[in-house]
Copies of this chain bind each other. A is one copy, B any other.
Amino acid sequence: MDFPWPKTGTPLNDVLTPVPVIDEDRLTGNITRAQDYMTRHGLAFRPHIKTHKIPQVARQQTDAGAIGINCQKLSEAEVFADAGFDDILITYNILGAARLARLVALNDRVTTLRVVADSAETVAGLSAAVGQGKPLAVLVECDTGAGRCGVQSVAQAIALARHITASSGLVFDGLLTYPPVGGAAAVEAFLQAAMAQLAALGIPCPVRSSGGSPDLFSAHLVPSATEHRAGTYVYNDRSMVRAGECGPDDLAMNVLTTVVSCPTPTRAVLDAGSKALTSDLLGFKDYGIIPSLPGARIVSLSEEHAVVDLTACTVPAPAIGTQLRVVPNHTCVVTNLFDRIVFHRDGVVTRVLPVAARGAVW
């Protein structure tokens, strides 16, 4: 599809919808504010690229002081290695011969590559794949309350660290967790206990990596951590405002959309459905907010349409053809739906960037 992407200098009013747009100044502000906070607290910062999936934006983050990047999938890391990034952490249990062979090839060309493991099965696969090649750095993933992946106790973390240390081709490089919101105390207690036991065993643990955007500005409450990972902060979204981590003026991403139908005085239909906003509710009861229509609610999505209930809207209903901006519930998942993202300053297009790692689920 030869979609007519806007040229630099185009007013956003003339950009075809639906499309996500990023405010350059808010983007820069978000990057600077988070980096300044980390620097002030002596924490290394490792942004998660899942939110933007765009090497140029990651470069803005490392130029601002981030030590490297965090990818969730091997295929994402390949895209960013191709773009020249040389300090990459992949926070995923990588399994299977085909994928492990590609991981080893990636390790050969990236200066600092780390992966995680939470099981002996993952460690065995990594060790066998590396063979006599360049040693691979492995962090033990720890579940400190988020209830996803990760070893369940300090004892399990120590056992797996010892197993990695004893495995040929692997270097145990530390501990990693993705805590739930408000989980700082549990993370700190876990890290302190594990570090003490590792020290007693004579096993170095140079990296202690914690993460999360919804707790970004509480990262200093985990003083044993050496680095923090976060993604969403770079664009921000409705969930980050709710979390108190940003204000409305820090929302860098909007989804531009157009009113395509006004079937009743209290119903407007937009050209942004679940293929543009996604169905992610994140605990909200509707699918994003429309700042210019206070009181309006996006009550349902089909794939290409959003139905807006204007019953409680305090301003006149928008006319058919009106362009509106939606603040999405969750920015990362919106990014994954589009081949390109439009950037702007004060409503004028500055650049259009390919979402290079879109769809990189492998």
Contact = CB atoms under 8 A, between A and B. Distances in A.
Given A321-B96, A333-B274, A339-B359, A72 B267 contact: no
A148 interface: yes
A308 B245 CA distance: 30
Contact of A261 (B118, B267, B279, B361): B118
A79 interface: yes
A362 B271 CA distance: 8
Contacts of A262: 119
B121 A321 contact: yes
For the residues of A in contact with B, the DSSP-based class is: loop
A290 interface: no
A25 interface: no
Contacts of A264: 152
A288 interface: no
Interface string A137-149: 0000001000111
A76 to B, nearest CB: 9
Interface in A231-269: 258, 260-264, 267, 269
Contact of A336 (B98, B319, B337): B337
Interface in A111-148: 118-119, 121-122, 143, 147-148
Contacts of A303: 50, 72, 332-333, 336
A260 B150 contact: no
A275 interface: yes
A321 B95 contact: yes
Interface of A: 1, 3-4, 16-18, 50, 72-73, 75, 78-79, 92-93, 95-96, 98-99, 118-119, 121-122, 143, 147-152, 258, 260-264, 267, 269, 271-272, 274-276, 278-281, 300, 302-305, 307, 319-321, 332-333, 336-339, 357, 359-362
Given A96-B321, A118-B263, A152-B264, 5 more contacts: A93-B260, A96-B258, A121-B319, A149-B260, A338-B361
Top-4 shortest CB links A-B: A149-B261, A121-B320, A279-B279, A93-B260
